[in-house]
Chain A
């Protein structure tokens, strides 16, 4: 089956007064129907530009974008607008109409395509029911919390039964708890309506939480692409490693000593491996980073440990961990 979104060699150059910025440098990426694809990168990597190329809010300088096999650049203005009604988008700052009630905000996309008012209102109420805000129908956006505003935006996005939902840093303005609930809602929408979701984010945790696939954008280029499991368990590029390890500037202090990164897989995350290892080797380790997540129903996690100075003990520990089928790698070399 052909991919719902095909990005082929897309470049985007912004021409300034006396400089040029190459925001995208030849991105090729396919997103399958029904996927939740995360596009992740540091700020300024070009991910927001990329997502805007998917509905032509930004026209790529070169390259093509095919939505359901149809080339966006070959479309007339009218066809493009028609196509956009099938590609919904939500934003970091929600972008609701502040002078309209919640209900009228959800009705707005239906006004655009000419749905009858009574019909639109009925559908809007159903959508508000889905996002759990039916009782706020008569409120105005200014009266809602950030999470509620994003829920309204999601209801609005679903109004015209889109096939694709683009999320541009949709959770970046929200607190962790709210982020989680919004991500769950997106997952539910993906499951219930089969909508393909593209999520732009700079947070690996968002990708881990709900994405099936991930594309890592670094400096306008596609650094890595694959299932979240693949990329998370064995990141190849430095950009991917940086995001997966969540390296911060202080990591420089780690140089010169022995550090290992352990990746937990499903058969080992229930056993207290580290504690057992410490008891067995009778030497302490320093846990610098520990992160365990549920990715696609399988328990996953990673840790970065600082091993004892004693080479023999350190070697024994690595051996111990490898014996337990954990993926162990020394990580003194990844620090930039």
Chain B
């Protein structure tokens, strides 16, 4: 079975998995990052407390986070069709992946930003810094190590979700594992995809840890 066709298929789907994971994570950050920042800023102890905004964001994040990914995948099919034009395939999978990852990212960003020393924020306020400077230069700057660690965790989770989407023909390594490994009982192929997924996670984790260490100026 280890012919050229098989290997090409594996390579192709490895690429598809990477595509789904990276594109979804990037898009989800565009959505989730501002949500996370808004959660911190509008919280009771935040810089611009706003009960209504905070409560809405908090609820949305909790609700979406509590829907299992597989259910979400099916629930948002109409939306996926409206955006992508079809309900299956790698690009279609990106839609539910983004929707699932964004609230997760919002929480990750929120917790990273809450770790920032309040004294440093107070110091910036005492210098006359406005909200924009405090968010971008103080909070995000000081939390960068934690944000990178968070992004690594998010990547791993999105990769896992993307594999799940194989069940509805989402494409990628997960799809192969399900179609060939599970339905056709080609266990060796299933194991190969699993090993590839494990390797992917390892590489991401390694890169993420290295990057966060490289960015951290607190330990020398």
Contacts and interface: CB of A to CB of B under 8 A. Distances in A.
Interface string B182-220: 000000000000000000000000000000000111111
A250 to B, nearest CB: 35
A87 interface: yes
Contacts of B142: 97-99
B137 A108 contact: yes
B123 to A, nearest CB: 4
Contacts of B124: 108, 112
B41 to A, nearest CB: 15
A96 B129 CA distance: 14
Nearest to B141: A99
Contact of A96 (B120, B144, B219): B120
A139 to B, nearest CB: 9
A100 B129 CA distance: 17
Interface string B137-151: 110011011000000
B219 A142 contact: yes
B127 interface: yes
Interface in A121-166: 140-143, 160, 166
A57 B127 contact: no
A55 interface: yes
B117 A95 contact: yes
B122 to A, nearest CB: 6
B213 to A, nearest CB: 13
Contacts of B68: none
B9 interface: no
B11 to A, nearest CB: 39
A290 interface: no
Interface in A91-128: 91, 93, 95-101, 108-109, 111-113
Name, among B117, B120, B142, B220, the residue most crowded by chain A CB atoms within 10 Å (CB to CB): B120
B128 A113 contact: yes
B144 A84 contact: no
Contact of B119 (A80, A87, A93): A93
B126 A55 contact: yes
A82 interface: yes
B67 to A, nearest CB: 34
A64 interface: no
B133 interface: yes
26 contacts: A57-B122, A81-B129, A84-B127, A85-B128, A87-B126, A89-B123, A89-B127, A91-B123, A93-B119, A95-B119, A96-B120, A97-B120, A97-B138, A98-B218, A99-B141, A99-B144, A108-B137, A109-B127, A109-B128, A111-B133, A112-B128, A112-B129, A112-B130, A140-B218, A142-B217, A166-B126
Given A84-B126, A88-B126, 13 more contacts: A57-B122, A57-B125, A93-B119, A98-B117, A98-B142, A99-B142, A100-B141, A109-B128, A111-B133, A111-B137, A140-B217, A141-B217, A142-B220
Interface of A: 55, 57, 80-85, 87-89, 91, 93, 95-101, 108-109, 111-113, 140-143, 160, 166
